[in-house]
Amino acid sequence: MEKICRESDLLHCQGGVVRAPFLIKGKIIVPPEINMEQIEAAFRDADKDTVYVKLSNAQLIREPVIDRKTLRYTGEYVYQVLPPVSGPELVETNIDRLAHGLYALSVADILEYLELLSAALLKNQELVAQVREICRLTAEHPDAFLDGWFAAFPSLLNCEAARQMINNELSLWGRPGGDFLDGWVEVPGGVIPGLVPSLAQALFGQDMTAHQPVKTLMRAMPTRQLHITAGNAPVIPIVSALRAILTKSAAVIKSPYGATITGALFGLAAAAVAPDHPITQNLSVVYWPGGDGSIESLLFRPNAFDRIVVWGTPETITSVQSKAPFTKTVCFNPRYGVSLIGREAFDGSLEKAVVKAAMDSMIDNQKACIASLVHYIEGTEEQARSYAERLRQTLRQWDGLTPQFVLPAVRGQLKRMKRGKYSRAHWYINSQKEEFTSGVIVMPGEFDILDHPMCRLVIVRPVDNLTDVLRYLHQGVSTVGIYPEERRLALRDRILARGVSNVLPLGQCERIFAGMPHDGMMVLSQLVDWKNA
Amino acid sequence: MTTGQSERLRTVHRQLIKAAQTWALRQGFDPGRARELRREAILINHAHYIKTIPAYQRLAQEEGVSEVTDIETIKKKLMSTDDVFKSYNQEWLEQADFGQMNQWLSGIYHKRIDVDVQGVRSIDDWIERLRAAGTNTVYSSGTSGTFSFVPRDETDWALVKTANTVYLTPLLTYRKVGTALVRLLVKPAIRLLSPDTLVKAVNKAGLPDFDGFFLGFRQGNMGNQVLIRELAPLFRRHHFLYDIDLTAAALRCLRWGAQTEEDRQLLGKLQKETIVERDSNYLKVIGHIKTSVEESQKVFLFGAPYQFKELGEIMSGENQRIALKKGSIILFGGGWKSFTGEKMDREALVRILSATFNIPPEMILEGYSMTEISVLMVRCDSGRFHIPPLIEPVVFDEELSPLEGKNLSGTFGFLDSLAVSYPGFIISGDHVRLMDEECQCGLCGPALVEIGRARNREVKGCGGIMTSFRA
């Protein structure tokens, strides 16, 4: 990996410019040489919010640099030079080649491949660290989160966890999922021949219509997948790629703006350690700006892909769904989490409840779809305020451990909330040099979740009874953390029946296990095509 | 406010309104003096708000600002957003709990509101009770469907009417209304009369050679409706597009759905008038306009851009054009999007109206205002919305920090020197470009060159919110 980077001057920041490659069907495509003068000229007439410029021979992205000490924009940018990309080079039409090659791999082959990737990342620690430091220049996430994600990269590719994902998410008929992915599995299905055979037998007689019974066989067939990811957590392209690899997919991973560099790192690892492997040969990790019709019009055509996986903003999802109506789309809608704290917490375990609830709010620095935005407190308003004050103190400790960058627009949004619609609420704010770092609002009434800035701000709502919260739960809520355990078990099914996906003990809402459902789906099962022969 | 402060404020307001008048006349305006007066009024208002308006008190306390402060501190720390006028609980309206609404409104008003709400079943009833008790409350409904309520006492109300009459009269007279001779005579008259006398004179004289046509409702308490209510009596005759009252209850049903049989009836009536009978209502207005033209009356036509678009389309569909008498005026305002969110092109609309009504483009005026501000800003022939010296504009960056300079882009805010009974230091939801320089039209001072809505921030991350949910 390091050799490729050295030879082609990739993935290091020189004078504010980073050249990042794409992986396109197994080949590393390097960007052209473009100097800073040309880059600045390209952005010269653009307004300050412009982050992307398309050239005839390259794509340019710019991200504002954040001073990690002051946690403010410096006014400078890091520019990424990326190769161009076109729709035709991403679409795979040679299905026979896939059927005999990639689709014929075994689960053992997949796991071996992951081992290679994981080993490559572990072996190239210097490069990984270099990439991490490039990301840090512009990362909106706190350093502790960034460091944690990068440290976790190899473990994301853990073989045992991957095996469990396959075996659990594709499991049917009491058989492990790997069996179905490896080939045909005979299942003891009680066959019902259908109406027509009975009619035909009556019409044409037994001799003419009798048949040899054949086995009932099922298989999890790989598919050609397009993953359109969003969010700027560096792990996202890797998680998407993992799912594609585990299902032996001929996949295109579109990295999100903000994680193009880690996508490039992953693509580089694949090409470096196993350039001839069928998985690498059928994997593309690229970037284009969402909505670019010159690329997407081809990718969204019927039969270009068998699956489109999309996560991100409501606009992205509805845009993709409207443009690709004939392709099965797996959507990860934007969702959020909440916490329910029973009155039992005020009988001596308030501090613990506060710490645990804060943990659930801190997931991905409150930007994950499972992060808790609202804490419902069963108690009086006075109790809610007491809770809020303790929560504020707890969040201040988090501020000390993981100082966060708050977007200027979010600072403005907070002021707007405090001086406007939520001026009657009680605000408990942590600040440094008069700038918001984290906080809590105790709301006297309902809160419009669309107003939530998701920046380490917790809304606290006092309720008379936890069952009062049920009317606020729906499919838009992914996760509910509850304390104490007895209340969680009592409310669990009522909550889940309302569309919530996870009901977990307070403080444990970030927990995952291999093979768990995501947004109500066994995702790998959605990505394969279940066949019957 | 002490008696002394109150009297001083009244004096300052009178002088400021007079200054606005000279500004509009483009003769003898002293911007430095106007600025001093305006800022003095703002500081008196600030001291008054701190003593009497709970929401402002709270904000000042949290920000550590006392009664004695300066303009820059107010701009930086004490400006509320326009959302403060919708900071009530929705449930109170749903449950018709107007006792709670009284309490909430008291929080953004300089007196306790204690009107009897016995028997009050609707927002409109409540507003009528408030008006009877001396509190004029105007509401507006944004894209979210949540109403803003802005209360003004009768003194403020009268002040707003006076101020707008006093500076709009010369502003519109300037090359617009009346003959050259009239304009020649009116200018010195305006200069010589005191504001109160001028208002009386204008009200008495009215605009007898104009018939007024309002593409709105006959009655209502929404911002535009209130303006219509004030303007309509000035004309010889006036007509409305919708000959029904626009009620808050009906508007609420549009957004939240009808909950009761009464709601359904209200909604049905509104929909009948605005959808089913829309075209025939426009045709009636067109008929009345023709009558006015036949009677040699000038026409004043007022509405929102999308309504003028609809009017133009209907007339074009009927293959109709009407040559309005010279001196007729079209005035529109209220945003450039239709109910469907379709964006319209201003120049295209002006062209259509100019052709349809044979009216020169410079007689097609555009106004910019909002429920929370005391003034109407009219677009000049050079395309700028000039801000009268009664208002201290502020432009904010995305962090909501005030910007400084003569050419600024950002969120529009203002310190309203005339707002005494409610907190008039407001940050709007509009994104503007503000320039402060001489204009070709002859007016000086700050003017808005571009107006749009502030952009919503895109949320990154898989976490997020699809739409508005109550939590």
Task: Please tell me the predicted confidence (pLDDT) of residue B398.
Answer: 93
| Contact call for B59 and A232, based on CB within 8 A | no
- Do A383 and A275 belong together in one domain? no
Predicted TM-score (pTM) of the model is: 0.89
Residue A190 lies in a domain: no
DSSP B260-291: SHHHHHHHHHHHIIIIITHHHHHHHHHHHHHH
- Kind and range of the H or E element at B168? helix B154-173
Nearest to B458 by CA among A67, A418, A48, A230: A230
A476 within some domain:
yes
Residue A112 falls inside a structural domain: yes
Looking at the fold, whether A340 and A314 belong to one and the same domain comes out as: no
How are strands ordered across the β-sheet holding A502-505?
A: A426-432, A435-442, A457-463, A372-378, A336-341, A477-483, A502-505
Interface of B with A in 103-122 (CB under 8 A): 104, 107
- Measured between alpha carbons, how far is residue B139 from residues B90, B131, B413, B451 in Å? 15, 13, 19, 22
Instruction: Let me know whether A273 and A420 are in one domain.
Output: no
CA distance linking residue A114 with residue A165, whole number of Å: 13
Q: Which two tokens stand for residue A48?
A: 């300050």
Question: What does the pLDDT average to over B454-471?
Answer: 63
Do B469 and A449 count as a contact with CB atoms less than 8 A apart? yes
Distance separating alpha carbons of residues A458 and A441, to the nearest angstrom: 6
Region A320-330 average pLDDT: 90
- Average pLDDT, integer, range B254-283: 82
Interface contact B469-A312, CB threshold 8 A: no
Which among A310, A332, A354 is the end of a domain? A332
Q: Is B79 on the interface with A (CB under 8 A)?
A: yes
pLDDT in tens, A491-513: 999 999 999 999 999 999 999 99
* Tens-digit pLDDT profile for residues A331-384: 988 899 999 999 999 999 999 999 999 999 999 999 999 999 999 999 999 999
Q: Is B341 on the interface with A (CB under 8 A)?
A: no
Contacts with A430 (C-beta within 8 Å, 6 or more apart), sequence order: A392, A395, A396, A399, A436, A437, A438, A439
CA dist., res. A406 & res. A36, Å (int)? 29
What's the average model confidence in pLDDT over B150-170?
89
* Among chain B residues, CA nearest to A450: B468
Single-letter code of the amino acid located at A335: R
**Number of domains composing chain A:** 2
Out of B411, B467, B471, the one facing A472 most closely (by C-beta) is B471
Per-residue pLDDT at B46 exceeds 80: yes
Q: How far is B39 from chain A (nearest CA, A)?
A: 22
Nearest to B470 among A314, A332, A472 (CB): A472
Mutate to test the interface with B, among A49, A333, A335, A419 (most CBs of B within 10 A): A419
Same domain, yes or no: A345 and A404 = yes
Residue-wise pLDDT for B94-128, tens only, equals: 899 999 999 999 999 999 999 999 999 889 899 99
Minimal Cβ distance to A476: which of B59, B462, B465: B465
* In a shared domain, residues A350 and A273: no
A416:B84 CB<8 A: no
Specify the pLDDT at position B343: 62
Residue A185 lies in a domain: no
Task: Measure A356 CA to nearest chain B CA, in Å.
Answer: 20
**Contact check, Cβ <8 Å, B427/A416:** yes
**Of B470, B468, B428, B425, nearest to B448 (Cα)?**
B428
Amino acid residing at A320 = V
| Chain A touched by B86 (CB under 8 Å) | yes
Are B386 and B439 in contact by the 8 Å Cβ rule? The answer is yes
SS3 A378: strand
> Per the CB < 8 Å rule, is A446 touching B465?
no
CB-based contact A314 B467, cutoff 8 Å: yes
Nearest to A420 by CA among B454, B209, B164: B454
- Residue A44 sits in the same domain as residue A138: yes
- Specify if A205 maps to a domain: no
State whether A296 and A417 are in the same domain: no
Q: What distance lies between CA B445 and its chain's CA centroid?
A: 20
Q: Give me the CATH number covering residue A71.
A: 3.40.605.10
Q: Is the pLDDT of residue A154 over 90?
A: no
Q: What residues in B contact A419, CB-CB < 8 Å?
A: 59, 79-81, 84, 427
Q: Has residue A204 been placed in a domain?
A: no
Query: In this complex, do B84 and A411 lie within 8 Å of one another by their Cβ atoms?
Result: no
Q: Are A227 and B455 in contact, with CB atoms under 8 Å apart?
A: no
Residue A200 covered by a domain = no
Supply the pLDDT for residue B94: 86
Confidence of residue B338 (pLDDT cuts 50, 70, 90): very low
Q: Which two tokens stand for residue A104?
A: 């014929």
CA angle B64, B70, B75 (to 5 degrees): 75
Domain match, A161 and A114 both? yes
pLDDT value of position A232: 61
CB contact under 8 Å between B466 and A407, yes or no, is no
Q: What gap in Å lies between CA B310 and CA B47, rounded to an integer?
A: 47
pLDDT at B459: 46
My answer on whether A42 and A89 are in the same domain is yes
The closest CB to that of B80, out of A335, A407, A420, belongs to A420
The pLDDT of residue B463: 58
Q: Which residues of B touch A510 (CB under 8 A)?
A: none
Whether A102 and A22 share a structural domain: yes
**Mean pLDDT on B242-269:** 78
Contact (CB<8Å) A450/B463: no
State which residues form the domain around A16: 2-168+221-332
Does the structure show a pLDDT above 90 at B192?
A: no
Is residue A13 domain-shared with residue A140, that is, in the same domain?
A: yes
pLDDT band at B187 (very low <50, low <70, confident <90, very high): low
Q: What is the pLDDT of residues A238-273, one digit of tens each?
A: 889 999 999 999 999 999 988 999 999 999 999 999
Beta carbons of A450 and B467 less than 8 Å apart: yes
The counts of H helices and E strands in chain B are 16, 14
ipTM: 0.86
Average pLDDT value for chain B: 86
Q: What is the CATH classification number for the domain harbouring A403?
A: 3.40.309.10
Query: Per the domain annotation, does A323 fall within a domain?
Result: yes
For residues A260 and A82, the answer to whether their CB atoms sit within 8 Å is yes
What beta strand segments (E) does B304-372 contain? 329-332, 364-368
From A315's Cα to the closest Cα of chain B, the distance in A is 9
Q: How far apart are CA B87 and CA B147, in angstroms?
A: 10
Mean per-residue pLDDT for B169-181? 65
A73 vs A290 pLDDT, higher one: A73
| pLDDT at A235 exceeding the cut of 90 | no
Give the nearest partner residue to B84 out of A366, A420, A446, using CB atoms: A420
Looking at the structure, tell me whether residues A303 and A379 fall in a common domain.
no
Structure tokens at B288: 């009345």
Chain A residue nearest residue B59, CA to CA: A419
Is residue A288 within 8 Å of A295, Cβ to Cβ?
Answer: yes
